[in-house]
Amino acid sequence: MQLLGKGFANKNEKVKNIRRADNFAKMAVSASTKACADFEFSNNKNSVSIILATQFGPHVTTFKFLDNLLDYSEIGVSPTIFSHSVHNAAASYIASTLGIIGQTLTITSFIDPLKQGLILAEAWLETDQAKKIILCYVEEESGPFTQAHKHCTFPSYSYDKFRTGAAAILLEKGNNIEIPAKILNPFTYVEEI
């Protein structure tokens, strides 16, 4: 694989035209837009694919939905909050913001989701399933997340290396990136490639 561009975002990024999106989706869109800043996809919208990788998904929005469900029952819950609690919502926002109509997949895994995203990207590029791939890694911290880390050990990245933010890379076929055996800190990995 070959790197064409990369971008980063944090929870304070302002993103236009997606005002109803949660922070998780806004960070994903902002980082992906920055990674693709030098490329025009208008002629090849179906040859660009999106892979969104995350360890915990939009759990802030999911917890908000569950809180509302408990407080107001299913009758009073916001359908917008529910739709954003779905892991694919952020990838959908990336696609609609950039006008991409190629295949999209979200990978959620406690163990090395960015590495899994890189493996999938390499497979899609090598089998000509896509000409370019936006790979976005995004995470968001929350109160329940912090409490959970006080009581258990997750089988993947340490809490010390966890941070709220998004990192996106634009890839195409080539030989410049080798997939490492393990990615201990996804944000540092993207910064260094």
- pTM (2 d.p.): 0.84
Res 109: pLDDT: 86
CATH class of 2-192: alpha beta
> What is the tens place of the pLDDT at every residue in 35-62?
999 887 767 767 899 999 998 776 676 6
The residue with greater pLDDT, 153 or 132, is 132
The SS3 call for residue 74 is: helix
> What is the tens place of the pLDDT at every residue in 74-97?
777 776 666 666 778 889 999 999
For the cut 80, the answer to whether the pLDDT of residue 181 exceeds it is: yes
For the cut 50, the answer to whether the pLDDT of residue 29 exceeds it is: yes
- Read off φ and ψ for residue 20, nearest 5 degrees: -85, -10
Res 157: pLDDT: 47
The residue with greater pLDDT, 27 or 62, is 27
Which sequence spans correspond to the domains of the chain? 2-192
What is the overall mean pLDDT for the chain?
A: 83
